[in-house]
Structure 1
């Protein structure tokens, strides 16, 4: 436990607070996929949200046609002002194509669709549904800075399970990569990205004015694109990070089609595009070796931290993972982010109507 302030306002969990916050003026966006259907973690999240009593809950759902209807029925069993936005129906796809917004599908796309629906409320909270330790305090904690003059807040937490340190994509890829770039370039954006204790956390909140300005990456770069646009919208002074305690999440392997290696490519590409747009000229030929040196220093530090706490630590495995990430560093391709909601002719009402009709068809 500590009370150190960072470049952004940092709110600490010193007494397990559930602060007064405008939950009745907030929409909560909870992206889900069909793997969460009837799951214990998702059930806990939704049950705890019942006690929060937000103005609106929007669930952008990524699921096959045969699973979407039963999933929506299960969601309707909770005592919440809940709306299901099925993201994978044909009308939604056609609508996006008609507005030149079709492209790769992923978590970022799902959240972007739901944010449009959430804009009718003054505040918006976004968080995942795979958290086994979810608490009803999280939404008011994330909202509290917004009611006290900030435009954006980000959650952070410890990832310790099974006597091991997790959060590997953040610890071993994002944090040392940002530190490497910040050491080599004088850029406020890099200092901002380095100020957040868990930049890849899926939990954040913002005013509707900030939400309207977000240009979200379509897949795993969602969190980085959110931070970069928050920097442009409100900067250091308008941002906060909030201690959410200890989290237990699902874990991913390093390899495979949805593994950490693939995620790192999306996160890295989003990061590189953002910092390049802020005047940073990256030497990609030298970046791999520089990142590896920084990341191996992080591994040594985490090894000592784990030993101090009596945790198991796979030093060789984490070093090997750094090598996988280093070999994958490369210049980003085309920018495929979705535009800000303020910059599209598409309306949230059109999206919700199309998604609702698609869902009814599956029944």
Structure 2
């Protein structure tokens, strides 16, 4: 694509085919390495996960594969274990919402820690990290629905971390999101929302270091990333659709830009999310939560907040920049002979713009995000917690007994009473 560098190191794809499975397996021996895949049971009926499994089977020196699985029954979990039974490395199917895991998570409530949800990708990633960090120094994460998964994905993602002399702690993927069926550009949340939003915020606040950091990432919403165990153990994990942006905020907090790299994975396609008919559906819901995450991280890192007085300026700037991006992507598509729905893209920009005002109001009402605590904090409270959780996720699902749960016993952790439940708000009347 190009050879430009900026604030963080960029590893380009020069399309020279420099992949070597034998050499990569030798490199995997340098540092214990695990892959983590958060997964819903429905993915096992789709071809993408089969492609991922068959591709990963060549990584004979991988330390382990952790499947953070949300399933309805022990039979589903057993089916997932059979699906990965012939892999040349250990596979741990961790039942994230199983009864045994629920008991272990609930055991920390006496310390004032609510670890029981909300269920979703962030919650699954957080549990999977606790399991993977037990025996790995490098952890890579991939989604379970990648339809273009190839051997270059794990090799290019992990290699910057396998040799400590590179000094890297965090790797973020970027790629060209194209539909396999239509070849049309995908990734609307990144192209039409996050990009224009960051450019608009820069016009309001100026070139703040944190905004420059976010804009350096070519695909900030990429769900594929890798990190060292030292970093993974110290990250608070967001539990909503702001996971990827929230993790970038956590990485910014802990790691110098010189220890971060982004890697080009080339062509990429996975399940596409619809725009949604309502603000709480599809990409609109995702954009709302991303908006709050970005503004919250600006508060945390720069002490900046968008006031209601500045909101009209942000709305006007975002629409203008978003419409400019639509024109740019239209030209990019035309020259590459890709189909492009300019009208649909502009409608998406307008829908996203309509989310800014209610999003800011929501943030002002509840500025503190729900984040799952870092594993280093949990280990300081209960050194056996990660091991208990890993065992619970692997427990015999039919005979598991709650008496096996080890309660927090760290003497320097003060036991506090759980917070009283908040009274529920009355439901708003449904419009006819």
The TM-score bracket by the shorter chain reads over 0.9
* Equivalent of residue 221 in structure 2, options 183, 187, 200: 200
| Partners of 1:276 and 1:282 within 8 A in 2 | no
Q: Which secondary structure state, in structure 2, belongs to the residue aligned with residue 213 of structure 1?
A: coil
**Residue deviations 1:253-311 (CA, integer Å, cap 9, x gap):** 11166611111122222222111111122235233332222211111111111111111
What is the total number of aligned residue pairs between the two structures? Answer: 362
* Equivalent of residue 337 in structure 1, options 356, 371, 376: 371
Aligned residue runs from structure 1 range 246-261, under 5 A: 246-255=267-276, 259-261=282-284
Please name the residue that 1:275 is paired with.
298
Please name the residue that 1:115 is paired with.
129
Q: Which secondary structure state, in structure 2, belongs to the residue aligned with residue 144 of structure 1?
A: helix
Q: 1:292 and 1:93 mapped to 2: Cα distance?
A: 45
**Residue deviations 1:149-198 (CA, integer Å, cap 9, x gap):** 11111111101121310011111111111222223224211111110111
Q: Does 1:10 align with 2:24?
A: no
| Partners of 2:117 and 2:123 within 8 A in 1 | no
Taking structure 1 as reference, are residues 358 and 276 closer, same or farther at Cα in structure 2, changes over 3 Å only? farther
Q: Which runs of 4+ in 1 moved over 6 A?
A: none
Taking structure 1 as reference, are residues 103 and 288 closer, same or farther at Cα in structure 2, changes over 3 Å only? farther
Taking structure 1 as reference, are residues 358 and 96 closer, same or farther at Cα in structure 2, changes over 3 Å only? farther
Q: Which secondary structure state, in structure 1, belongs to the residue aligned with residue 330 of structure 2?
A: helix
Q: 1:349 and 1:35 mapped to 2: Cα distance?
A: 28
Taking structure 1 as reference, are residues 359 and 319 closer, same or farther at Cα in structure 2, changes over 3 Å only? farther
* Equivalent of residue 294 in structure 1, options 297, 300, 321: 321
Aligned residue runs from structure 1 range 45-64, under 5 A: 45-53=52-60, 54-64=62-72
Moved more, 339-348 or 17-26: 17-26
Q: 2:149 and 2:338 mapped to 1: Cα distance?
A: 23
TM-score where L is the length of structure 2: 0.79
Q: Does 1:356 align with 2:356?
A: no
Please name the residue that 1:155 is paired with.
173
Q: CA deviation at 1:314?
A: 1.0
Q: 1:357 and 1:174 mapped to 2: Cα distance?
A: 41
Q: 2:96 and 2:236 mapped to 1: Cα distance?
A: 18
Q: 1:143 and 1:328 mapped to 2: Cα distance?
A: 37
* Equivalent of residue 116 in structure 2, options 102, 110, 114: 102
Kindly name which structure, 1 or 2, has the bigger radius of gyration based on alpha carbons.
2
Q: Which secondary structure state, in structure 2, belongs to the residue aligned with residue 121 of structure 1?
A: coil
Taking structure 1 as reference, are residues 258 and 358 closer, same or farther at Cα in structure 2, changes over 3 Å only? farther
Moved more, 68-77 or 1-10: 68-77
Q: Which secondary structure state, in structure 1, belongs to the residue aligned with residue 58 of structure 2?
A: helix
Aligned residue runs from structure 1 range 112-191, under 5 A: 112-119=126-133, 120-146=135-161, 147=163, 148-161=166-179, 162-185=182-205, 186-191=207-212
Please name the residue that 1:240 is paired with.
261
Taking structure 1 as reference, are residues 228 and 125 closer, same or farther at Cα in structure 2, changes over 3 Å only? same
Q: 1:93 and 1:291 mapped to 2: Cα distance?
A: 43
Please name the residue that 1:214 is paired with.
235
Q: CA deviation at 1:39?
A: 2.5
TM-score where L is the length of structure 1: 0.94
| Partners of 2:233 and 2:376 within 8 A in 1 | yes
Please name the residue that 2:409 is paired with.
none
Q: CA deviation at 1:133?
A: 1.4
Taking structure 1 as reference, are residues 18 and 361 closer, same or farther at Cα in structure 2, changes over 3 Å only? farther
Moved more, 297-306 or 178-187: 178-187
Taking structure 1 as reference, are residues 94 and 266 closer, same or farther at Cα in structure 2, changes over 3 Å only? farther
Q: 2:249 and 2:192 mapped to 1: Cα distance?
A: 20
* Equivalent of residue 353 in structure 2, options 326, 346, 360: 326
Q: CA deviation at 1:360?
A: 4.5
Runs of 5+ consecutive residues of structure 1 not aligned to the other structure: none
**Residue deviations 1:114-170 (CA, integer Å, cap 9, x gap):** 001111311111111211211122222112222211111111110112131001111
Taking structure 1 as reference, are residues 293 and 98 closer, same or farther at Cα in structure 2, changes over 3 Å only? farther
Q: 1:349 and 1:3 mapped to 2: Cα distance?
A: 44
Q: CA deviation at 1:359?
A: 3.8
Taking structure 1 as reference, are residues 207 and 304 closer, same or farther at Cα in structure 2, changes over 3 Å only? same
* Equivalent of residue 82 in structure 1, options 75, 91, 95: 91
Please name the residue that 2:44 is paired with.
37
Q: 1:221 and 1:72 mapped to 2: Cα distance?
A: 30
Q: 1:137 and 1:360 mapped to 2: Cα distance?
A: 39
Q: CA deviation at 1:75?
A: 2.6
Q: 1:49 and 1:60 mapped to 2: Cα distance?
A: 16
Q: CA deviation at 1:107?
A: 0.2
